[in-house]
Amino acid sequence: MTEYWNAYLENGQKTEHILERGKAIPQGLYHLVVECILIHTDGSILFMQRDDKKESYPHYYEATAGGSAVLNESPETAILREVAEETGIHLQASQLIHYHHFVAHDDQCIFDLYWAKVDAKKDIITVQNGETSDFVWVAPADLPNFLETQPIIPRQKEYVEQLILEKE
């Protein structure tokens, strides 16, 4: 099934252009990517392990659930969908806290980053076939060692360090 995206200008303004996943994005246009760090009420953070067949960062841990917003999808709707698909956790929009926004020029992406506090049972997490293979909840006391010793997508490791460790 073909996936379509809205095209945005660098300043976040939506254009009339429609983008198709897998096809080149015209110069000066961007697509929206959303990501969310999930923090349990006990303070632990959910990390999902990428499937070993993934093209980029196979078997690495992801600190976020997320992906591309599809055509006419708001950032909030996109992150609620992505979190549900990738973890099995169903959030409410009121749980989302927006904490960072940036433009990745090389990838032609506009990133909206969120975090959410969840009170879900830790064993209900589901892995998404072909996307993830495992998960782990990392307690606050174990976080520095986990970040130092486990393969984590570098950009996402920075998110966790900035959002969690630097606020302590």
β-pair type (31-40, 65-68) = antiparallel
Residue 167 pLDDT > 60: no
Q: Is the pLDDT of residue 29 over 60?
A: yes
Q: Mind listing the domains of the chain with CATH numbers?
A: 4-167 (3.90.79.10)
Residues in the chain: 168
Average pLDDT over residues 85-100: 94
Answer whether residue 114 shows pLDDT above 90. Answer: yes
As a whole number, mean pLDDT of residues 125-146 equals 93
pLDDT at 130: 87
> For residues 17 and 29, is the Cβ–Cβ distance under 8 A?
yes
**Other Cβ atoms closer than 10 A to 112:** 23
Is the pLDDT at 111 greater than 90? The verdict is yes
Average the pLDDT over 26-30 and give the result: 96
Question: Residue 75 class from Cβ within 10 Å (0-12 exposed, 13-18 middle, 19+ buried)?
Answer: buried
Residue 79 pLDDT: 96
In this structure, what token pair is assigned to residue 87?
């973890």
Percent of the chain with pLDDT over 90: 86
Q: Which pLDDT does position 37 carry in this prediction?
A: 95
> At CA 50, angle to CA 45 and CA 55, rounded to 5?
145
- Where residue 2 falls among pLDDT bands split at 50, 70, 90? very high
**The tokens of 99 are what?**
């904490």
pTM of the model: 0.91
Mean pLDDT of the chain: 93
Q: What average pLDDT does range 91-98 have in this prediction? A: 95
Joined together, the tokens standing for residue 32 give 């929206």
Q: Are 72 and 59 within 8 A, CB to CB?
A: no
Tokens of 162: 């900035």
φ and ψ at 148, to 5 degrees? -80, -35
- Which residue is it, tokens 């959910």? 46
Q: Which residues of 18-35 are buried (b: 16+ CB within 10 A; e: fewer)?
A: ebeeeeebeeebbbbbbb
